Structure 1
Amino acid sequence: MTASIWMAVGLIGQALFSGRFLLQWWTSERLGRSVVPNGFWYLSILGSGSLLAYALYVRDPVFIIGQSAGMLIYLRNLKLIRNERRASGGASA
């Protein structure tokens, strides 16, 4: 039973992680230009977090390193977005 739960965590994480590209594509098509919406970064964090949890469960060091490094980048991008909004007076991007 435990292995099935962890498999579900991994599959949900992969779905969230893949969903970020669908969101980016859909938003770009809707706006008629290439954009990276903030939701992309939130889906990246949720998906990467779930995949990292799964990687820790299966004890895969390659997978753990990859997801950990990505998580730092996604969090940093959200911090940069927040800093930019503060500097511009809180206007939405």
Structure 2
Amino acid sequence: MSAYLYHVFVEQFDLWIALGFFAQAMFTARFVVQWIASERARRSVVPVAFWTFSLAGGALLLIYALHRRDPVFIIGQAAGLFIYTRNIMLIAGEKKRNLAETESMEIPRS
């Protein structure tokens, strides 16, 4: 067992493994961000940072999966990127609509 662990975590360690670990850490950070935001609000909340970490971590994990030529990992990460991107687009659209609504509610001057 120790020989296996040594091979997996030491012998084959390279820049790609480092990228994979960094990508996984970013991907995991989204859950921490979501948990903290929900605890503060005392309700379930999905902040923009969740989707930002999802997109960044997912994209890096896709690059890692492409390098490793893992078809299951490639399809899984690629599919998620569409969801993350769409959620960021929806949030940006909502902010844009809210800004336009705020600007159209000008205070009358006397």
Q: TM-score, with normalisation over the residues of structure 1? A: 0.90
Residue 76 of structure 1: CA displacement? Answer: 0.5
Paired with 1:60 and 1:52, the residues of 2 have a C-alpha distance of: 10
- Gap regions ≥5 residues in structure 1: none
Q: Which residue of 1 aligns with 2:37?
A: 27
Q: 1:53 aligns with which of 63, 69, 87?
A: 63
TM-score by length of 2: 0.76
Task: Indicate the residue corresponding to 2:79 in structure 1.
Answer: 69
How large is the RMSD of aligned CA atoms in angstroms? 1.7
Give the whole-Å Cα distance in 2 for the aligned partners of 1:60 and 1:76: 25
1:13-61, CA deviations, whole angstroms, 9 ceiling, x for partnerless residues? 1111111001100111112111100000010011111110110010011
Alignment of 1:2-17 (within 5 A): 4-17=14-27
The one-letter code sitting in structure 2 at the alignment partner of 1:68 is A
Larger RCO: Structure 1 or Structure 2 (Cα < 8 Å, ≥ 6 residues apart)? 1
Match of 2:89 among 71, 79, 89: 79
Inter-partner Cα distance in structure 2 for 1:85 and 1:39: 15
**Rg larger in 1 or in 2?**
2
Percent identity between the two aligned chains: 50
- Counterparts of 2:13 and 2:75, CA distance in 1: 22
Shift in Å, 1:85: 1.2
For structure 2, the 5+ residue unaligned runs are 1-11, 103-110
